Structure 1
């Protein structure tokens, strides 16, 4: 996630940063630092599985993509057919849901990546074992 410090005095630069973010398919966020200056963070959104969405055999989708902490994964699916569960490495490897895991079921779930490894599965019977899971590393 790239950061650029902005003050009220250079608001034209702030607007240009927002425009550049839009052109790069990244969202820009103003985060106030302790000095009251605006730090602009750019985050890109990715639709998991691209046109197919969150479905079976999606496990290879992250290959070749570069993710950053703060980027957003968008999981699109039929909510009566699937879900998304953020799990740890063991949950990913074994297709199990550890206690306290974050579960979403809207069919249009937006999940922000944290720095390091991020693991997601569908925990409905037979789904994860049929490659409905992804592992994403965010730098």
Structure 2
């Protein structure tokens, strides 16, 4: 009788360990989002000494779906528009996707791919007040493609989760 009780206790502990392990495996695949202040302490204004300020700033970041961009500017002196690539290149408001006129503006990155932002006040964009960000899917994969490393790690995580859940289910039944 004693060995049956010990065996039942060990099986219950094994179930707890398996459930925790599968939960951790699932959680490891989730990425936290980040809030970025565009231009850091400089904010969203016309770059005075470096017309590539926002390109340089974005080059040091990795943006993923769910991240938030905060554009710090004074309402009435600047705005932020999300535009298409041609609108970005030409500094025009053609094909505007989103307009924020009140600062600070918070924009959540909802899709992968390149996103383009400009200030539509006369001369601001052409003076360098524009930003292009490349948004990834959160697993480190490039937009539209699944990298071999990302694909392998995703497959391993999914397989491990399924194995742990199957074992847990089998032990519970």
TM-score by length of 2: 0.55
Q: Which has the higher strand share?
A: 1
- Counterparts of 2:96 and 2:105, CA distance in 1: 18
Aligned length in residues: 106
The Cα offsets for residues 109-138 of structure 1, whole Å up to 9 and x where unpaired, read as 110112110100001100000000000001
The Cα offsets for residues 52-89 of structure 1, whole Å up to 9 and x where unpaired, read as 10011343220121111110000011111100000010
- Which has more radius of gyration? 2
Give the structure 2 partner of residue 81 of structure 1: 77
Distance 1:66 1:41, change over 3 A: closer
TM-score by length of 1: 0.68
Post-superposition offset of 1:105: 1.1
Runs of at least 5 residues in structure 1 that lack an aligned partner in the other structure? 1-8, 18-39
- Counterparts of 1:115 and 1:105, CA distance in 2: 24
Q: Does 1:95 align with 2:85?
A: no
Post-superposition offset of 1:41: 6.1
Q: Which has the higher helix share?
A: 2
Q: Does 1:109 align with 2:109?
A: no
- Counterparts of 2:33 and 2:79, CA distance in 1: 24
Post-superposition offset of 1:102: 1.2
* Greater RCO, 1 or 2 (C-alpha within 8 Å, sep 6+): 2
Give the structure 1 partner of residue 41 of structure 2: 51
- Counterparts of 2:45 and 2:88, CA distance in 1: 16
Alpha-carbon RMSD across the aligned residues, in angstroms, is: 2.2
Runs of at least 5 residues in structure 2 that lack an aligned partner in the other structure? 1-18, 48-52, 137-173
- Counterparts of 2:62 and 2:98, CA distance in 1: 24
Distance 1:133 1:100, change over 3 A: closer
